[in-house]
Chain A
């Protein structure tokens, strides 16, 4: 089967994306995560309060 250059290029594009997605799944990486896995701060506990100034309540008007 003869493949044109655009088809070969597209196949390489699919392969690169697929490899990237598989690698992200393996490493648990995501740009959409709510937090990243960087440790910060000291031991947990004793911190109270909530939110941090967010507005709560329905958006419904």
Chain B
């Protein structure tokens, strides 16, 4: 489309294509980021940037048709005001000239510089071609953070201009000014799908240092290709969330490790009297700590339940902290012959924030039997109560108590709270049509 030529970057030696040769004044090497003066026949190095060249969602050299004209993305810059960061692509067509493709907070706008300037009719209103535009973004300073590609003016990072914006519906007039000039640009909102459909991602042009192919973007490229992740803030929030979740998991595992553990066993007779057992003594060394008690029944416990009353008895004051648990496991046969089961042979309870001190861990257990009414009816022919007792059977219950331990309920809650803001951001952008 353009009369292109190639130059050798004086900073890294990479071969860089000049797409708008004859028009372009400055160019940022897409291998090392060095800013070059291509208006100078010897190609002079203006500034070298050590930081990695940005990985653009729309690579320079991409061509796409918007408003019936084929445009080539030749330049890119990241700009910042006091409350926002956005990026702008410089589009070029040798017959139509230059246009802008602005990408801010997931929204795309197509910009064309105005030759007929709007007239000011009030402090917050301008009129252009008979239409009134109201102030939508208050006057602010805009700084160019990074540049890449080629530009028709002597661009540089750190460049600062004054800016304001006026809007009439989705139509925006952007004002930028410095000491030398005033520029008005008309920005028209584009659907993200229109941008995605218009631009294809071409192969990289020219050879890099040693003709090495650009580094593959891998997972992050596919990630950033997702329509709702085109904005850098969503990617950064996801990275922060992932790091936070890993750190929270490690911190909770470290601080909530099991400091002490005791165990013991008791035997309880079905429908017999309650059995009491002192597992042993635990010591809380921090101001407060959690205590977890787990009970595991033998496999013969079927259609039985065991009530468990726990007490942590302070050895100094004899005051008790109480909790309850139940082991219950049931099984039977449905009318269609299928077997069902319900319950578990394991019951764990947690006591939170137990104050510092030494405690005897006391457990009291009482076992009961439950009869399946259907089975009983089949064997006796009478209407069963469902609560017949089976005397004489015993169950072994293994009990263990530990100080500390991971509280997964807190972890999952924190995980959900951390994940909610980026999820809401994605949802909000999806509702604004970025997936369409």
Contact = CB atoms under 8 A, between A and B. Distances in A.
A38 B323 CA distance: 11
A2 B233 contact: no
B interface, over-half SS:
strand
B407 A30 contact: yes
Contacts of B84: 4
Interface residues of A, number: 50
B221 to A, nearest CB: 19
Interface string B219-262: 00000000000000100110011001001100110111000000
Interface stretch (B32-40, B134-142, B326-334): B326-334
A40 B422 contact: no
Contact of A43 (B80, B276, B320, B418): B320
B320 A59 contact: no
Given A25-B252, A34-B325, A45 B236 contact: no
Contact of B256 (A25, A49, A51, A59): A25
Given A13-B421, A21-B251, A28-B288, A35 B244 contact: no
A20 B252 CA distance: 10
A5 B330 CA distance: 56
Contact of A7 (B80, B233, B305, B364): B233
A41 B18 CA distance: 85
A57 B311 CA distance: 25
A14 B289 CA distance: 24
B23 interface: no
Nearest to A5: B83
Contact of B145 (A2, A17, A18): A2
B313 A44 contact: yes
A29 B326 CA distance: 23
Centre residue among A2, A21, A40, A52 by max chain B CB count within 10 A: A21
Contacts of A29: 288, 290, 352-353, 410
Contacts of B340: 60
Interface of A: 2-7, 10-11, 13-15, 17-18, 20-22, 24-45, 47-52, 54, 56-60
